[in-house]
Structure formats: C-alpha cells, structure tokens
Amino acid sequence: SSFRFLVRAPEDRSPTVCCVRSDPQTITSLHALCRAQGIELGKGYGKLKEETVRIANFPAITCGDIQRLLQVLEHVRSRTPAA
C-alpha cells in the first residue's frame, strides 16, 4: 500500500493540516513508529478514522520535525507491499 492525499486536488487542501490515507494496517504501523520517535500524529475522523492520519503544518512544527516524520513515512512505505 502507498500513502496518498485524502484531498486529491492541491488547491483544495488545507494550508495547516495535511490528511494522508492508506490501509488501516499501514496507518496503525505509522502511528506506532511515530510515537516511538516522539512524533504525535492526529487520527482521522468518522468512517475514515482507521485509514487516515492528519499531519499539522503549523509554524510551531520545525523543519527538523518534518524531516523526522518523512524518515518514518519512508520507512513505513518501504515495508508495505505495493497495491
């Protein structure tokens, strides 16, 4: 499985929160690995709760924070089979 934006059109995406979608097992793994690295991600809502994750883009989030998150995302992506 791969990660994909929940909102496909870039012009419709929020400037402060990014919502990413994948299969529930990948999302669970992502949350666990991020938590182990001290990164807290938001869970999705409603019927998409198990297959989405919300990532803040607020100014309080540093470039280093984003780099750490990208490393975890790449690690999870590389461990999951392609759809």
14 pLDDT more than 80:
yes
Query: pLDDT tens digit string along 48-65?
Result: 999 999 988 777 788 898
Query: pTM of the entire structure?
Result: 0.77
Tokens describing residue 39:
């990164």
Check pLDDT > 80 for residue 37.
yes
**What is the torsional sign of CA 25, 6, 73, 30?**
negative
CB 57 within 8 A of CB 17: yes
Cα–Cα dist 81/83, whole Å: 6
Domains along the chain with CATH numbers: 4-79 (3.90.1150.10)
